[in-house]
Structures are given as structure tokens and as C-alpha cells.
Amino acid sequence: MRRGGARIPNLGGARALVLHRPHATVTAILRQLSAIGLEAAQCWPVLPPEALAADFVFFDADLGFDEQFPWPPGEAPMPLVALIGSEAPGRIEWALSQKADAHLPKPVGNSGIYSALLIARQGFEARRSLADEIRSLRERVAERQTIVKAVAALGGAGLDEERGFAQLRALATGWQVTIEEAARRVVAMKAGKDDDDRSNRA
């Protein structure tokens, strides 16, 4: 009985692209991908537009360059597997800048592709989950800052926070929106009023 592990996903029907010049390495990868049940194709020197719909991309870390990818470095929308033959620091550094989720040493033999796919998918999903969490936290911090600004604006010259928050809550109820949305409206209105005041003084 398996305990504590993640469920092994079914990769059959997934699509993979191998960004590598024609080579025995590519032949070995395509053969293994087909045996696993993936649809796979080789391309070089750049990824085609349909790469954005691929489930996995294997890329040559030895001869690769940023312009091969239709996305900014490190922002691939799918798991990446780096194919590494050279141990030159510059090549390793470039592969890391692409945020590859797994790697395979070259030459690729008759095994290793399946585990690379699983590791890449898990790494990609963990990285994406972390990015979503960070984005959510930043949004929450920004919303709180907006509420503080709105409360300060409504609190008047005496900066009565209790009164300001009560007014904000009343506005949200009257507008039938959330506190956060009401705060955004108050801050926007205050910014517009400040702009008008500056224009009148000019």
C-alpha cells in the first residue's frame, strides 16, 4: 500500500515538443515519449506558435538561446526539461535562467524520460502554486493599504480612524459592494479631487 506520495498522473495523450537539432538524442527521446503515450515532435531552431499549447517542452541547454522561446526567460507556461551535455558554467547558468523543472544528461539512453516528465510536472505545479500564493498575498496587502488610505480620507483632518471606517462601511453598504471596492472608489475620488484642486491653484 502506497503512503504519503502524490498520485502518479496519467501522461497519455499529453503533447511534448523537443527543441533540439536533429540528433540521436532526439530520436531516443521521441521513442520514449511515444512509448509512454505522448504525442511528440522535434523542432529547431525555434519553437513554433503552437508550442504555447504543449504540455511539456524539452530544450537543448548546450546550444539554446532566449529568442528560441515565445515567452520571457523563466516564464514558460508549461513544464520544461533541460537537455544538458555541457558542464560549462555559462550554459548551466542559462539553463537555470529558463527555470527548467527537470533535466536530463546527454546522451539520453533508453530510460529516464518518464521520471523527468513526472519531476518536471510536479516542480512546475509547485512553482505555479507558489507564484499564485505570492500574487494573492500582494493583492491582499494592496487592498489593506487601500482601505487604510480610504479610512484616512474619510476620517477628516483629525484622522478619526473609527469614524472613517464607519463611513467606509456605510458607503459599502449603500453602494452594495465590498469594503475593498468601496475603499478603491473613495481613494479614486480623493485622487480626482486632489487633481482638481491642483488644477484650480495653477
Domain ranges, ordered by start, for the chain: 15-111, 135-201
pLDDT digits (tens, 9 = 90+) for 94-120: 999 999 999 999 988 888 899 999 999
CATH topology classification for 135-201: Arc Repressor Mutant, subunit A (1.10.10)
The pTM for the full model equals 0.71
User: 118-164: per-residue pLDDT in tens?
Assistant: 999 999 999 888 888 888 888 888 888 888 888 888 876 566 788 88
> What topology is assigned to 15-111 in CATH?
Rossmann fold (3.40.50)
Q: DSSP string spanning 123-187?
A: HHHHHHHHHHHHHHHHHHHHHHHHHHHHHHHHTTTTT-HHHHHHHHHHHHHHHTS-HHHHHHHHH
Q: How many of the other CB atoms lie within 10 Å of CB of 153?
A: 20
Residue-wise pLDDT for 44-68, tens only, equals 999 998 899 999 999 999 999 999 9
